[in-house]
């Protein structure tokens, strides 16, 4: 049988800094969608990766004193890097592309040449503005208050010989695509694109750069590198083997079913991307979905503003599934949402600990207590319930009435109808890219099931097992069955926890499937139930906030500590004049103390010979005790710009030697002869 294919992508991330919770949001959403489609039996291709070229990366690498490749390797493959983060978050991508992969680079060169040979790329001169952080070109009139309209940062003048893509040629076709199809979602993004970018007149796009070298060379014109967005967008096709031999499933998976992207890159995906595909005469992706941002204190998170939230810290403290769930449950996927630790903890406590966790632990505990862990034969669904369930599963509207509103048969019917109809409602939400609404549907059933416990008061029934035993068993069965159906539909969001949940309620592999989620009564009635570990423990708000603060302070200290071992920048020599600009001085330690709340930082008060004390913070508390350094004669570079760490200024850097012994990092401060006076210059 030919399975339906589903190709879904995340944006490929810039490895210019460690990823934050905003990046994690998009990847978790894509993962949940991919897992949902797999659950339904689709043949899924889920691609993610990293977008490693461009001026920003080149500059960052220079700042770090390493080659661009070493720089990105560290962020992508290194400890707590991109790949580690996706592993931790249980991301089930089928493929990971790095735009520095040879096969991708060779394909992009061919793509560029094809568009050039077709006449859609031509040579000219670029004169305008450039936003380095966004790697975006702008005209004067597009700027907002003279700054980048996307990120609000300073732009710089750019004038250079460049190749241009005839974007203007495709303006009408792109406008038609946006206005007359469901290509771009949510619909609200269409007006923004058409009114802000297409109607004012689409200008041709500058697609090569000459002022830096970290990019894919234009092979027929050395000196030019391909504009990073052209390089990046085609990743969606090269990762399938388009114009390369590395993979062989372009024909099978292209066009993409959906690209999930953040709202600020919708322009690239809904205007530039389809235009280039039209030029290449390639099929267009079926959908682009522009999701909102996670905001912190109402603003976008960014490393430069220092307001990023570290997903590692949250996942380690609250658990991966709780974090995944929170991201998908709390923020409507197409809109912005305000992130806060309090909101995260509140969601865990309300939905996971109270609603879902309690349902599972109360039900399994009662099956254990009243039935020794296995329900008796015959407690499963009765014929009327099966008929109702079937109608609900087919999406029929069912109105339930009983003479007595406290009739237990009515309670049963209400629960059965809610749980049996859940899969259809959930599917509708997932198919329209509304995971938050799908979760809302699941939680309505979980809440209904908890209410069902209160309506049936099993502890009262249990007082007379002889009379009420069969009724109690049926109540328990219904609870297990409703829990199971919810569990199946929560699997794409919390895969590891749902496996544990299934083990506890005794749902074997046949009862964990998409098909079984649409069939009330799939769980065998006599299945063995065991009350296991508490799936979602309640979080103490104050204690957790305190721990988070500590973890964040420690992480800030770690960031300030010695960098991980990196391959040195060997491609460029430092000229003598540049070298001479570094001001190394002998300094004497007058005082040294640990920085409160940081495990790594020591605060030095130094005599640098100037007559005024110099303060330097150094992340070396793992190697030295503060008191043992007082009186030592050290070396510092003193003309670095001051840097804030843990709210304190650090004016310079102490010089140390770092090496590795049996995989462990060793650090030695450079100590010189005490006879050398403070302030002596090293040259
Ligand atoms: N490299 C480009 C994408 C190229 S795709 C062909 C890029 N990279 S990025 O690392 O800057 O951003 C990757 C994604 O993370 C974007 O979709 C962006 O919107 C998303 N997010 C970054 N910060 C975010 C939030 N605070 N909230 C939600 N998503 C955000 O753009």
> Which CB contacts under 8 angstroms, 24+ apart, belong to 379-385?
379/470, 379/473, 379/474, 379/476, 379/477, 379/525, 380/477, 380/521, 380/523, 380/524, 380/525, 381/416, 381/477, 381/481, 381/520, 381/521, 384/413, 385/412, 385/413, 385/416, 385/520, 385/521
Residue 445 lies in a domain: yes
Nearest CA, atom 12, ligand 1: 13
User: Across 158-162, 507-511, 528-532, which has the greatest mean pLDDT?
Assistant: 507-511
Residue 166 above 90 pLDDT? yes
Please identify, among 472, 496, 517, the residue that sits at the C-terminal boundary of a domain. 517
Residue 114 above 90 pLDDT? yes
Instruction: Provide φ and ψ at 182, rounded to 5°.
Output: -100, 30
Report which ligand 1 atom has the smallest distance to the Cα of 232: 6
Residue 306: partners with Cβ closer than 8 Å, 6 or more residues away: none
* The token pair that represents 492 in the structure block: 């794409």
Are 453 and 367 in a shared domain?
yes
Are 394 and 494 in a shared domain?
yes
- What b/e string do you get for 517-540 counting C-beta neighbours within 10 Å, with b at 16 or more? bbbbbbbbbbbebebeeebbeebe
Question: Is residue 137 very low, low, confident or very high in pLDDT (cuts 50, 70, 90)?
Answer: confident
Cα–ligand 1 centroid distance for 13 (angstroms): 6
Cα–ligand 1 centroid distance for 40 (angstroms): 28
Residue 493 lies in a domain: yes
Cα–ligand 1 centroid distance for 536 (angstroms): 30
Cα–ligand 1 centroid distance for 24 (angstroms): 9
Residue 120 lies in a domain: no
Residue 117 lies in a domain: no
At 344 the three-state DSSP class reads helix
Cα–ligand 1 centroid distance for 26 (angstroms): 8
Are 372 and 495 in a shared domain?
yes
Give the DSSP letter string of 378-405. T-S--HHHHHHHHHHHTT-------SST
Q: Which residues pair with 209 in a beta bridge?
A: 225
Please identify, among 517, 536, 551, the residue that sits at the C-terminal boundary of a domain. 517
**Do residues 189 and 264 make contact, with C-beta atoms less than 8 angstroms apart?**
no
Are 511 and 609 in a shared domain?
no
Q: How far is 591 from 589, CA to CA, in rounded Å? A: 6
* The token pair that represents 524 in the structure block: 């065998």
Cα–ligand 1 centroid distance for 547 (angstroms): 28
Residue pointed to by tokens 């024909």: 251
Question: Is residue 574 very low, low, confident or very high in pLDDT (cuts 50, 70, 90)?
Answer: low
Residue 514 above 50 pLDDT? yes
- The region that residue 367 occupies, defined by phi over 0 for left and psi between -120 and 50 for alpha, beta otherwise, is alpha
Cα–ligand 1 centroid distance for 579 (angstroms): 37
Higher pLDDT, 349 or 303: 349
* The token pair that represents 228 in the structure block: 């990073």
End-to-end CA distance of the chain: 75
Residue pointed to by tokens 């509140």: 346
Residue 565 above 60 pLDDT? no
Are 373 and 507 in a shared domain?
yes
Integer angstrom CA distances of residue 98 from 45, 104, 136, 604:
16, 8, 21, 42
Question: Is residue 103 very low, low, confident or very high in pLDDT (cuts 50, 70, 90)?
Answer: very high
Nearest to 24 by CA among 279, 266, 260: 260
Residue 332: partners with Cβ closer than 8 Å, 6 or more residues away: 292, 434, 436
Residue 344 lies in a domain: no
Nearest to 492 by CA among 413, 419, 435, 560: 435
* The token pair that represents 516 in the structure block: 């079984």
Are 392 and 499 in a shared domain?
yes
Q: Give ligand 1 pocket residues (Cβ under 6 A).
A: 11-14, 22-23, 25-26, 51, 232-233, 235, 261-262, 264-265, 293-294, 300-301
Q: How buried is residue 11: exposed, middle or buried, by Cβ count under 10 Å (0-12/13-18/19+)?
A: buried
Are 486 and 618 in a shared domain?
no
Give me the pLDDT at residue 230, please: 98
Residue 73 lies in a domain: no
**Do residues 285 and 255 make contact, with C-beta atoms less than 8 angstroms apart?**
yes
Q: Over the stretch 235-257, which tens digit does the pLDDT of each residue have?
A: 999 999 999 999 999 999 999 99
Length of the chain counted residue by residue: 683
Nearest CA, atom 16, ligand 1: 262
Residue 304 above 90 pLDDT? no
Pocket test for ligand 1, best of 31, 262, 311 (most atoms within 8 A of CB): 262
Preceding amide of 186 cis, omega within 30 = yes
Nearest to 120 by CA among 282, 232, 256, 250: 282
Report which ligand 1 atom has the smallest distance to the Cα of 13: 10
Residue 586 lies in a domain: yes
Are 396 and 484 in a shared domain?
yes
Task: Count how many domains the chain has.
Answer: 2
User: The CATH number of the domain where 648 resides is what?
Assistant: 2.40.50.140
Residue 569 above 70 pLDDT? no
Q: How far is 642 from 682, CA to CA, in rounded Å? A: 20
Q: Over the stretch 515-561, which tens digit does the pLDDT of each residue have?
A: 999 999 999 999 899 988 999 999 999 999 999 989 888 887 666 43
Higher pLDDT, 18 or 269: 269
Integer angstrom CA distances of residue 178 from 117, 175, 423:
28, 5, 31
Q: What is the mean pLDDT of residues 337-359?
A: 97
Report which ligand 1 atom has the smallest distance to the Cα of 236: 6
Are 453 and 602 in a shared domain?
no
Pocket test for ligand 1, best of 19, 22, 314, 334 (most atoms within 8 A of CB): 22
Q: How far is 226 from 100, CA to CA, in rounded Å? A: 13
Q: Over the stretch 35-56, which tens digit does the pLDDT of each residue have?
A: 999 999 999 999 999 999 999 9
Residue 638 lies in a domain: yes
Q: What is the mean pLDDT of residues 489-507?
A: 98
- Reported as type and span, the H/E element at residue 589 is strand 584-594
Other CB atoms within a 10 A radius of the CB of residue 249 amount to 17
What pTM value is reported for the model?
0.82
Give me the pLDDT at residue 662, please: 55
3-class SS letters over 538-583:
CCCHHHHHHHHHHHHHHHHHHHHCCCCCCCECCCCCCCHHHHHHCC
**Do residues 74 and 566 make contact, with C-beta atoms less than 8 angstroms apart?**
yes
* The token pair that represents 102 in the structure block: 């040879």
Q: How buried is residue 292: exposed, middle or buried, by Cβ count under 10 Å (0-12/13-18/19+)?
A: middle
Please identify, among 485, 517, 549, the residue that sits at the C-terminal boundary of a domain. 517
Are 581 and 513 in a shared domain?
no
Give me the pLDDT at residue 559, please: 60
Instruction: Provide φ and ψ at 164, rounded to 5°.
Output: -125, 145
Are 405 and 499 in a shared domain?
yes
Nearest to 520 by CA among 377, 373, 393, 368: 393
* The token pair that represents 514 in the structure block: 């998409």
Integer angstrom CA distances of residue 615 from 638, 671, 679:
10, 18, 14
At 134 the three-state DSSP class reads coil
**Do residues 483 and 360 make contact, with C-beta atoms less than 8 angstroms apart?**
yes
Residue 136: partners with Cβ closer than 8 Å, 6 or more residues away: 130, 148, 150
User: The CATH number of the domain where 503 resides is what?
Assistant: 1.10.730.10
Spacing of C-alpha 422 from chain mean position: 28
Integer angstrom CA distances of residue 557 from 227, 563, 599:
36, 12, 7
Give me the pLDDT at residue 308, please: 83
Q: Over the stretch 610-658, which tens digit does the pLDDT of each residue have?
A: 999 999 999 898 899 999 999 999 999 999 888 877 888 889 999 999 7
At 598 the three-state DSSP class reads coil
Give me the pLDDT at residue 194, please: 97
Q: What is the mean pLDDT of residues 504-513?
A: 97
Domain that holds residue 459: 354-517
Report which ligand 1 atom has the smallest distance to the Cα of 273: 6
Q: What is the mean pLDDT of residues 576-597?
A: 89
| 18 secondary structure, DSSP code | -
pLDDT mean across residues, the chain:
93
Are 580 and 513 in a shared domain?
no
Nearest CA, atom 9, ligand 1: 13
Give me the pLDDT at residue 332, please: 97
Q: What is the mean pLDDT of residues 261-279?
A: 98
Q: How far is 299 from 293, CA to CA, in rounded Å? A: 9
Q: What is the mean pLDDT of residues 578-603?
A: 90
């Amino acid at each position: 049988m030919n399975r339906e294919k589903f190709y879904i992508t995340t944006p490929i991330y810039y490895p210019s800094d460690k990823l934050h919770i905003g990046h994690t949001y998009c990847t978790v959403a894509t993962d949940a969608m991919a897992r949902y489609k797999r659950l339904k039996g689709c043949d899924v291709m889920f691609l993610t990766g990293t977008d490693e070229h461009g001026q920003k990366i080149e500059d960052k690498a220079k700042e770090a004193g390493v080659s661009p490749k070493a720089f990105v390797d560290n962020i992508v493959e290194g400890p707590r890097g991109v790949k580690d983060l996706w592993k931790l978050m249980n991301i089930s991508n089928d493929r990971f592309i790095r735009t520095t992969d040879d096969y991708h680079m060779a394909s992009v060169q061919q793509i560029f040449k094809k568009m050039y040979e077709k006449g859609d790329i031509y040579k000219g001169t670029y004169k305008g503005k450039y936003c380095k952080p966004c790697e975006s070109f702008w005209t004067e009139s597009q700027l907002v208050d003279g700054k980048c309209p996307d990120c609000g940062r300073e732009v710089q003048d750019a004038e250079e010989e460049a190749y241009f893509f005839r974007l203007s040629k495709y303006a009408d076709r792109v406008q038609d695509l946006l206005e007359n199809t469901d290509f771009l979602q949510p619909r609200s993004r269409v007006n923004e694109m058409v009114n802000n970018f297409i109607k004012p007149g689409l200008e041709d796009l500058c697609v090569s750069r000459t002022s830096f070298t970290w990019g894919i060379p234009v092979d027929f014109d050395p000196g030019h590198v391909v504009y990073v967005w052209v390089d990046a967008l085609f990743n969606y096709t090269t990762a399938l083997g388009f114009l390369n031999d590395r993979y062989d499933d372009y024909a099978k998976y292209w066009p993409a079913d959906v690209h999930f992207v953040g709202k600020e890159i919708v322009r690239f995906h809904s205007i530039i991307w389809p235009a280039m595909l039209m030029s290449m005469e390639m099929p267009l992706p079926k959908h682009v979905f522009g999701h909102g941002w996670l905001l912190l204190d109402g603003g976008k998170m960014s490393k430069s503003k220092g307001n990023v939230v570290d997903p590692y810290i949250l996942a380690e403290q609250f658990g991966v599934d709780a974090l995944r769930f929170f991201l998908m449950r709390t923020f409507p996927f197409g809109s912005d949402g305000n992130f806060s630790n309090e909101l995260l903890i509140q969601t865990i406590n309300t939905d996971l600990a109270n609603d879902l966790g309690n349902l599972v632990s109360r039900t399994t505990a009662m099956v254990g207590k009243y039935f020794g862990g296995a329900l008796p034969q015959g407690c499963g669904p009765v014929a009327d319930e099966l008929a109702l369930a079937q109608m609900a599963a087919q999406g029929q509207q069912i109105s339930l009435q009983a003479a007595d509103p406290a009739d237990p048969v009515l309670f049963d019917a209400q629960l059965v109808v809610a749980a049996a109809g859940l899969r259809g409602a959930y599917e509708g939400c997932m198919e329209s890219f509304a995971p938050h609404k799908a979760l809302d549907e699941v939680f309505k059933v979980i809440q209904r099931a908890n209410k069902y416990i209160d309506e049936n008061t099993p502890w009262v029934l249990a007082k007379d097992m002889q009379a009420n035993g069969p009724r109690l068993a049926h109540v328990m069965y219904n609870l297990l069955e409703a829990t199971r159906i919810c569990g199946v539909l929560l699997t794409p969001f919390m895969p590891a926890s749902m496996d544990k949940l299934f083990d506890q309620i005794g749902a074997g592999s046949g009862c964990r499937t998409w098909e079984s989620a649409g069939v009330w009564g799939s769980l065998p009635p006599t299945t063995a139930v065991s009350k296991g570990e508490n799936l979602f423990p309640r979080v103490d708000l104050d204690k957790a906030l305190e721990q988070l603060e500590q973890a964040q302070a420690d992480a800030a200290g770690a960031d300030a500590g010695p960098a991980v071992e990196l391959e040195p920048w060997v491609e460029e020599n430092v000229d003598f004049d540049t070298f001479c600009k570094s001001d190394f001085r002998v300094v004497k330690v007058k005082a040294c103390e640990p920085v409160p709340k940081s495990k790594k930082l020591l605060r030095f008060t130094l005599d640098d010979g100037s007559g005024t004390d110099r303060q330097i913070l150094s992340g070396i508390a793992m190697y030295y005790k503060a008191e043992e350094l007082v009186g030592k004669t050290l070396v510092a570079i003193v003309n670095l710009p001051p840097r804030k760490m843990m709210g304190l200024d650090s004016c310079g850097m102490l010089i140390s030697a770092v090496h590795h012994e049996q995989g462990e990092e060793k650090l030695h401060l450079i100590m010189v002869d005490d006879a050398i006076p403070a302030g002596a210059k090293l040259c």
